[in-house]
Every structure is written in structure tokens, then in C-alpha cells.
Amino acid sequence: MDIFEKCYAPSLAGELKEKGLYPYFHALQSRQDVEVMMEGKRRIMLGSNNYLGLTTDPEIIEAGIKALEQYGTGCSGSRFLNGTLEMHLALEDALARFLRKSGVVTFGTGFQSNVGIISALVGRHDYVICDRENHASIYAGCQLSYGKMLRYRHSDMADLEKCLQRVPETAGALVVTDGVFSMGGDIAKLPEICALAKKYGARVMVDDAHGLGVLGEGGRGTAAGGIAGLFTDPAMWKPQFLILRLCYTPYGIGLSAFAGVALLGRVIGKSRLREKLLSFLLLVFFCIPLFGYLLNGGLYSKDKVFIPFLPVLCAEVGLYVENQLVRKRECGKNRSTGNFKRKVMTELRELFPYLIVLILMWNAKQETYFEPYWHLGILDVICVTACYLAWRWFPAKKQLRGRELPFLPLVFSAVILLSLIHI
């Protein structure tokens, strides 16, 4: 028998094509978008998995062009040998930080990841346990492994437990499930699955092709804790003093780092309690990731959500500079009076906010995300230093005529923003 005979024999596919009902291989004449051109007709796209619009994002397209120009059209080798590029490692590092994991390995496609991971993990005497409605790539990985495959009814936890009970204690077990099932669109019962896996000493693998970037806390997928997980995740409460993030990135609020000096100075300086409290709350608001996530609806943490606070921050800067003027006049009048300890403490209190912000600026350069903006950070260091020197050495008796001092931070901010436009 010729194995090719089946290719020429009448089939259901041929009958559907003749009737115009065949749903596959319709060619697009435009890029993936909400609306597409298909076979000469304008159609609404309901079948794409381009959920985040990344396929047509201008920044990603530009980055792709730059990558082609730098690296060419292919790796010309496997990742294992000579096909690993620097941008592969950078991507994996960025994904690891986003997912809050110790490491990430990327594959060319989602299908390859399931085939590669499952066949590598599941050995000859191991068991792999699958939901019946898992994606075909999961089943392909199970078939390529040397382990024994067990299937449980879709989202049936009782049936899953029966499968786990069949696994010998000496054998390894891997429960594999879709995060969002491509067949019906429902979400896996991950808390129950993980609880059963822990009970029977199994591991859990989640194919989150349709959940990552869409579901969970910060878009981290179905395995993330959702809005409730925001409050239980320690990373959400860990302060991130990323001055550059607020100042210069496309999603930043635009002021120079002197705004950080103003907030710190208001907290530790001589001011009313309610003023101290407002400055402290703003610092907490900007530095604790939880608040950024909450304001963005728990989807992501982009700093553009803080832009409405810009007028308040400008007011804080103005009040701090005004207080500096008053303090300078007082220091000028009483320079010859007071003991040494008091003078030293006064100087340290005024220097401390500047010193802290400069240290933070220096540490920020270690964040790879801010590398394109680091030259602006250097400019800002100069600006912040100039502000302190102007306060420290500007003659006190000329203070009333030195009205340019309050405008220094604003001028510096304008310079930095103009520089940002040309990046």
C-alpha cells in the first residue's frame, strides 16, 4: 500500500473546502490587529492570541529592527552551542525579575517549551498526569517522554486525586495543566491542584500561554495571587528607591531628583506635623510597589499612574525651597551664636537629603532597565549638587535678592526633560 494514497483520497476537508466552510489557512494581507484584511475583505479579528497588542507595538517593532540590524536574521546555531545571543540572556533576566523567579529559560515557541520541558523532566519510571483538555503540545511532550501518562477528567479534582493515588511512592509525578484552557477558556483550579500535589509529593507545571500578561497580580499569570496576592507578596512591600524610574523614563513624572531631596528634607526638617506626614506618605506612595499596582488596577506597575500627583510634588518642592530660604536667613543671623554641636547637627540635617538622593542615583545605574537614561542621571547629580552648594554658600545677607534660588530645581528639571526628548 502506498502511504501517499490517503493524501489524494476524498476527505472531509476537501468537502468543506468545496462548500466554502473550511476554517483553516485563510491568508492575511495585513498585520495582526483588531481589524485585518483577509482575502480582500476587511474583517474583525476574533481568533488572534495577540492579547496585549505587542505584535504592533511601535517600541517592539523598533527593537526588532535594531536586533535584525545588529544580529542578522537568525542565530545560526542551537542555544546549547553557538546560538545564544546576549539579548537572549537579557530577556531571560528581565523575565525572571518580572516573575520574581531565580531564573528563566526561553524557547522559540510555546509548543517547543512543552515538548522540551516535559520530555526532559519525565523519565522512564515517572508519571505525568494531564487534564483531558490540555493543549496538544502538552500531550506531544508526554508522548516524547519515557514516563507513564495518566489523564483526569477536566477540572475534576476528585479524579485527579485518584490518578495521584495510583502513582507509586518511589516514582516521580508531574501534574501538567493549562492555566487558561484554550479549548473552553476556563481557568485551571490551581490552588486545589497545588494542594493535592503537595499532599501526594507531586510537582505542578502550568502552561500559561493564554494567562501571562493578562491574569494575576501584575499580569504575572494564573499562578500569581491576583489582587489578594498583592498584599501577601513580600516583594510588594519592599521599598524600591528608583529615582530614575520616576524622573526620566517615558512613563515617569518628569521632575528632577531634587523632588526626592524636597520630600526627604520635609520629613526630617523643621516643619509642621501634617506637612511631614504628607511628604512621608508621598515617599511611601512612590517607593512601595504595592500602591503603583493598585492604582493600575493590579495589572502592571507603570509610573505614569503617578502623573496626577505632579502638582502636589511641585508644591512640595516649592515649600521646601521656601523653608530653605528661611533657614538660611536664620543661620546667617545666628552664625556667630550657638554651640558647635548644634551647628554640626544643623549642617548634617540639611546635607542628609542630598546625600541620600545622590547615593540612590549612583545605585540606580546598576539597573539595566535604566541604562539608556543614565546620562540624564549624571546631569541630575550635577543639578542636585548645584542646589546644595547654592544653599550652603549663597551669602545670607543677599538672600532676599537671591530669588533665582527657588527656580534652580525647575530650571534643572526643564533641562533634563529637554534632554529626554532627544533620546
174: β partners:
128, 203
Domains in the chain, please, with CATH? 24-40+50-72 (no CATH), 110-210 (3.40.640.10), 241-421 (no CATH)
- pLDDT classification of 314: cutoffs 50, 70, 90: confident
pTM higher than the cut 0.85? no
pLDDT at 250: 63
pLDDT at 365: 60
CA atoms within 13 A on the CB side of 106: 15
Q: What is the mean pLDDT of residues 193-199?
A: 88
Sequential DSSP letters for 249-288: STTS----THHHHHHHHHHHSS--HHHHHHHHHHHHHHH-
Write out pLDDT tens, residues 200-220.
889 999 999 998 888 877 788
| Closest alpha carbon to 413 in 247, 265, 266 | 247
Write out pLDDT tens, residues 378-421.
777 777 787 777 767 665 555 444 455 555 666 666 665 565 55
150: β partners:
129
- Nearest-angstrom CA–CA distance, 125 and 120: 13
Q: What is the mean pLDDT of residues 262-288?
A: 85
Sequential DSSP letters for 301-318: --GGGGGGGHHHHHHHHH
354 compared with 326, residue with greater pLDDT: 354
Kindly list the distances between the CA atom of residue 306 and the CA atoms of 254, 267, 273, 293, 357, in Å, as whole numbers in the listed order.
10, 20, 24, 11, 19
Contact 299, 391 (CB under 8 A): no
